[in-house]
């Protein structure tokens, strides 16, 4: 089996006939210029060292060398041998809180944006691992099924905002339950669920769900987004004016990080709790922990591998260029009377 790795480079072969046409035209122009001085036979006798064949030979060598270089750069490949590649890693699902409280700005630029930045940085560190994305507020929703497509993961991550969920609240337990059902069914280990939230859980018993997840071999990590002193929740009006969310009594709502809840969830899930702040989102700590987890075979692929043969063509081209370089355009004084192109009897014709 034969193929080219970079077929687009073959279009440069169209330059070859153009160069040949230009060379032929230049020869005709030179011949016409010489004729203007008189008879060609007489003029040739006056220039015994001028060779008419050597420039042609040098040009032919250059054209052949250029052809080999273009074909070589296009990457000719021969044969096809099957190769099996195994990829080992872990499966991890990010459960990201998108409730209104995540818009608080005690973590700059706000809790949600900082969470998205942290996830994106962690994705950049991954290689063979599978990732998925769940968003939750009053309920949990799958934003991205488990995949190895990191580009798609970052694209879906960029679209996350509180507006993508129809029900507000903070249902961490629902996110854990959905996460348990989102891992590959044939993988019984090497699974991590990473919950990124401010911990204001009002909907369900998240600790019990974390214990159940751990029984299924899922390690639950929690990252606390926010500061214990809390911050108001900004809202932006129709015309861009800023204000803060208030309760039924008209008091400004202060959302605070619930560290105790997140510590209990992480402990029940056999993971660790990490608190983010304005200088550190805890991604490096989390990555080190995940990297220590036992790796399992994520997928196995069989693909065809071709043998590269460009080096032979490039080598031939270099030899031709060297030969072209050592050939001089004028006749050698020692062999100026020798004509290697015509043979008469056993002797070269002079």
Output the pLDDT for position 38: 60
Output the pLDDT for position 349: 39
Find out whether 343 and 102 touch, Cβ atoms under 8 Å: no
Evaluate if pTM is beyond 0.75: no
Instruction: Write out residues in the chain with pLDDT < 70, as ranges.
Output: 1, 34-35, 37-52, 79-85, 187-189, 201-203, 297-306, 329-350
Domain boundaries, the chain: 2-75+309-348, 86-301
Output the pLDDT for position 56: 87
Output the pLDDT for position 269: 95
Strand pairing of 76-89 and 2-4? antiparallel
Q: Is 343 exposed, middle or buried (0-12, 13-18, 19+ CB in 10 A)?
A: exposed
Q: Hey, how many other C-beta atoms are within 10 angstroms of the C-beta on 190?
A: 23
Strand pairing of 273-275 and 218-224? parallel
CATH number of 86-301: 3.40.50.410
- How far apart are alpha carbons 169 and 197 in whole angstroms? 12
């Amino acid at each position: 089996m034969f193929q080219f790795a970079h077929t687009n480079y073959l279009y440069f072969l169209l330059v070859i006939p153009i160069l040949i046409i230009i060379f032929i035209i230049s020869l005709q122009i030179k011949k016409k210029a010489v004729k203007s001085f008189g008879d060609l036979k007489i003029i040739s006798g006056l220039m015994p060292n001028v060779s008419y064949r050597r420039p042609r030979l040098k040009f032919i060598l250059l054209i052949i060398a250029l052809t080999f270089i273009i074909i070589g750069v296009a990457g000719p490949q021969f044969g096809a041998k099957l190769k099996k590649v195994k990829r080992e890693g872990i499966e991890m699902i990010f459960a990201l809180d998108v409730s209104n409280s995540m818009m608080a700005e005690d973590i700059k630029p706000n809790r949600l944006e900082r969470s998205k930045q942290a996830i994106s940085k962690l994705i950049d560190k991954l290689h063979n691992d599978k990732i998925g994305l769940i968003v939750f507020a009053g309920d949990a929703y799958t934003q991205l099924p488990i995949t190895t497509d990191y580009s798609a993961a970052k694209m879906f991550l960029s679209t996350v905002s509180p507006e993508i969920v129809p029900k507000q609240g903070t249902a961490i337990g629902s996110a854990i339950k959905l996460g348990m059902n989102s891992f590959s069914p044939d993988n019984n280990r090497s699974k991590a669920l990473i919950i990124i939230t401010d911990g204001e859980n009002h909907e369900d018993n998240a600790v019990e769900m974390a214990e159940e997840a751990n029984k299924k071999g899922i390690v639950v990590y929690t990252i606390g987004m926010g500061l214990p002193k809390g911050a108001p929740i900004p809202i932006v009006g129709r015309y861009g004016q800023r204000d803060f969310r208030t309760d039924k009594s008209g008091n400004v709502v202060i959302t605070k990080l619930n560290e105790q809840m997140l510590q209990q969830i992480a402990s029940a899930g056999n993971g660790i709790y990490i608190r983010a702040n304005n200088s550190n989102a805890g991604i490096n700590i989390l990555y080190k922990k995940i990297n220590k987890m036992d790796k399992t075979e994520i997928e196995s692929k069989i693909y065809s591998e071709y043998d590269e043969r460009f080096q032979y063509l490039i080598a031939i081209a270099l030899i031709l260029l060297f030969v072209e370089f050592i050939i001089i355009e004028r006749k050698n004084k020692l062999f100026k009377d020798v004509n290697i192109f015509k043979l008469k009897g056993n002797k070269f014709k002079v």
